[in-house]
A and B are shown apart, each in its own frame.
Chain A
Amino acid sequence: DAGVIQSPRHEVTEMGQEVTLRCKPISGHNSLFWYRQTMMRGLELLIYFNNNVPIDDSGMPEDRFSAKMPNASFSTLKIQPSEPRDSAVYFCASSFPGGRTEAFFGQGTRLTVV
């Protein structure tokens, strides 16, 4: 397996534009996590899916953020409209549920909103 695949790797956009980040989890993994990493706040969990269903979205900062998982092999994180304070590295991770195995992370998407 190629691991967790995220796209794009880098995204630069203007304030107010819509941004969509994509994630392909490891085949067979039922749990998917979206994290945001900044120097100030470290790694923050945004949302967690289990079997394509959002289990906990309490970390989603505002209504401008939304996430979907239409099937077991694809998830998106959308920011609309984007703001400069959304600039961060966004990571997707996947694992088998139940905590029996490790969580594997993608390489991240570095988002810059100007």
Chain B
Amino acid sequence: KQEVTQIPAALSVPEGENLVLNCSFTDSAIYNLQWFRQDPGKGLTSLLLIQSSQREQTSGRLNASLDKSSGRSTLYIAASQPGDSATYLCAVLSGSARQLTFGSGTQLTVLP
């Protein structure tokens, strides 16, 4: 059974700092990995999708990397802003039933 772990559970940084969020998964036979953002009381917004054959994806100040063999992904946020404050969730698509399994998230607070 696929298990996804995110570290740290919470992170507080001053505005302008670069930061890295970590995601690990137990079964490396994945189809893709997706990073989401969730604001309080809201749904999930897709940030980046990395296919299993890819090593990284970039969107604006966000860069996500994937090392499938070691079961790890990182989300790099450059020049953080208070508006980046949210919970960031990592999810992997895997298994014969193609389940999307989520980590428990990292709650990010960017202080002005």
A positions within 8 Å CB-CB of B: 31, 33, 35, 42-43, 45, 48, 50, 55-56, 91, 93, 97-108
Nearest-CB residue, chain A, relative to B47: A102
**Complex CA distance for A56 and B101, rounded to whole angstroms:** 13
Shortest Cβ gap from B107 to chain A (Å): 12
Residues of chain B within 8 A (CB-CB) of A104 are 46
A-B CB contact pairs (8 Å), 13 listed: A33-B100, A43-B89, A48-B98, A48-B99, A93-B100, A98-B98, A99-B31, A102-B46, A102-B49, A103-B46, A103-B91, A103-B93, A105-B43
**Complex CA distance for A100 and B46, rounded to whole angstroms:** 14
**Complex CA distance for A56 and B100, rounded to whole angstroms:** 11
Shortest Cβ gap from A4 to chain B (Å): 8
Instruction: Give the interface SS of chain B, mostly helix, strand, loop or mixed.
Output: strand
Known contacts A43-B102, A45-B100; 10 additional CB pairs below 8 A are A31-B98, A42-B103, A42-B104, A56-B99, A100-B51, A101-B49, A105-B43, A105-B45, A106-B43, A107-B43
| Binary contact track B85-112/A, C-beta < 8 Å → 1, others 0 | 0000101010001111111110000000
Residues of chain A within 8 A (CB-CB) of B100 are 33, 45, 93, 103
Q: How many pairs, one residue from A and one from B, have CB atoms within 8 Å of each other in the complex?
A: 56
Shortest Cβ gap from B97 to chain A (Å): 4
Shortest Cβ gap from A49 to chain B (Å): 11
Contact, CB under 8 Å: A42 / B105: yes
Q: Which of B34, B89, B99, B100 has the most CB of A within 10 A?
A: B100
Shortest Cβ gap from A70 to chain B (Å): 21
Residues of chain B within 8 A (CB-CB) of A35 are 102
Residues of chain A within 8 A (CB-CB) of B31 are 98-99
Residues of chain A within 8 A (CB-CB) of B43 are 91, 105-108
Shortest Cβ gap from A40 to chain B (Å): 10
